[in-house]
């Protein structure tokens, strides 16, 4: 299998299936398509057009068959590798895991907009300002805290549904955002953030992101090139 991804420092969507594959120890080949631009004639779009009509990363290609969209990729992997137990085993827990993944997939627009993923950046002042000036950002953070608190309490940790699952992979980019923008959270949530940070798949993705040194101005609303 090949997984087509974008820059690891910026591409939160790419991070989800990559971390999932690494954590589940499913063999795959990474193909990184650098974010040069998103115009139809850009190298990124031209190369991606060979693999996905949607023109976005990530894309999983398995024996020539392409699957795009993070939820679709997660479901494909869960069906192909049932022994990896990527979703919780119990039916209601599995439904709840799908619900929170879908909520992340479709929601949290204010958090995405004001806290774009930027792993190499440390932007605590931006975090404080956004939380102070944008109630919608605070509402998104409050919803995360509520969700994670309920799941950790219901399933006993250490991950959202006990053992690592697709849900933790889906929220791994959010964890990186909370760290980059120094978002204050309750102690139990901070402990979960730290547990996600030290997952081998997240550690590996973070190390690769820090090694890129590829400053893209169109992905940098808060920083300027040194």
d(CA 159, CA 62): 29
Q: Are residues 77 and 97 in the same domain?
A: no
Can you give the CATH number for the domain in which 125 is found? Answer: 1.20.1050.10
The residue from 56, 84, 112 where one domain ends is: 84
Q: Are residues 95 and 202 in the same domain?
A: yes
In a domain, 126, yes or no: yes
Q: What is the pLDDT of residue 159?
A: 98
Q: Mean pLDDT across the stretch 129-151?
A: 98
Q: What is the pLDDT of residue 5?
A: 98
Q: What is the pLDDT of residue 31?
A: 98
Q: What is the pLDDT of residues 106-115, one digit of tens each?
A: 999 999 999 9
Q: What is the pLDDT of residue 212?
A: 97
Q: Are residues 105 and 49 in the same domain?
A: no
In a domain, 18, yes or no: yes
Is residue 199 predicted with pLDDT exceeding 80? yes
Q: Are residues 118 and 144 in the same domain?
A: yes
Q: Are residues 104 and 158 in the same domain?
A: yes
pLDDT, the chain, mean: 97
Can you give the CATH number for the domain in which 49 is found? Answer: 3.40.30.10
In a domain, 224, yes or no: no
Q: Mean pLDDT across the stretch 11-39?
A: 96
Q: Mean pLDDT across the stretch 84-98?
A: 98
Q: Are residues 62 and 99 in the same domain?
A: no
In a domain, 21, yes or no: yes
In a domain, 132, yes or no: yes
Q: Are residues 14 and 56 in the same domain?
A: yes
d(CA 16, CA 32): 14
3-class DSSP assignment, residue 165: coil
Is residue 47 predicted with pLDDT exceeding 80? yes
Strand ranges inside 86-222, DSSP E = none
> How many domains does the chain fold into?
2
Q: pLDDT-derived band of residue 88, with 50, 70 and 90 as boundaries?
A: very high
Q: What is the pLDDT of residue 87?
A: 98
Is residue 77 predicted with pLDDT exceeding 90? yes
Q: Mean pLDDT across the stretch 5-27?
A: 98
Q: What is the pLDDT of residue 21?
A: 98
In a domain, 161, yes or no: yes
Q: What is the pLDDT of residues 141-195, one digit of tens each?
A: 999 999 999 999 999 999 999 999 999 999 999 999 999 999 999 999 999 999 9
Q: Are residues 49 and 127 in the same domain?
A: no
The residue from 25, 55, 84 where one domain ends is: 84
Q: Are residues 35 and 17 in the same domain?
A: yes
Q: Please, are residues 4 and 57 in contact by the beta-carbon 8 Å criterion?
A: yes
Q: What is the pLDDT of residue 37?
A: 83
Q: What is the pLDDT of residue 140?
A: 98
Is residue 226 predicted with pLDDT exceeding 90? no
Burial 92-107 (b: 16+ CB within 10 A, else e): ebbebbbebbeebeee
Which residues form the domain of 72? 2-84
Q: Give, in order, the Cα–Cα distances in Å from 189 to each of 141, 144, 154, 184.
A: 11, 9, 14, 9
In a domain, 212, yes or no: no
């Amino acid at each position: 299998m090949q997984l087509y991804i974008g820059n690891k420092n910026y591409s939160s969507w790419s991070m989800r299936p990559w971390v999932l594959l690494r954590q589940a120890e499913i063999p795959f080949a990474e193909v990184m398509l650098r974010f040069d631009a998103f115009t139809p004639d850009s190298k990124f779009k031209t190369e991606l057009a060979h693999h996905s009509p949607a023109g976005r990363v990530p894309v999983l290609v398995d024996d020539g068959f392409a699957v795009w969209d993070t939820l679709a990729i997660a479901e494909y992997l869960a069906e192909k590798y049932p022994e990896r137990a990527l979703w919780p085993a119990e039916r209601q827990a599995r439904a709840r895991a799908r619900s929170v993944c879908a909520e992340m997939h479709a929601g949290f627009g204010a958090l995405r907009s004001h806290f774009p993923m930027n792993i190499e950046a440390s932007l605590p002042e931006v975090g404080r300002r956004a939380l102070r000036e944008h109630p919608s950002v605070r509402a998104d953070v409050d919803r995360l805290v509520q969700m994670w608190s309920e799941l950790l309490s219901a399933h006993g940790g250490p991950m959202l549904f006990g053992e690592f699952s697709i849900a933790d992979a889906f929220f791994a980019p959010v964890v990186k955002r909370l760290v980059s923008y120094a978002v204050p959270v309750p102690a139990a949530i901070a402990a979960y953030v730290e547990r996600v940070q030290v997952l081998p798949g997240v550690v590996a993705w973070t190390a690769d992101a820090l090694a890129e040194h590829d400053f893209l101005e169109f992905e940098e609303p808060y920083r300027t090139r040194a």
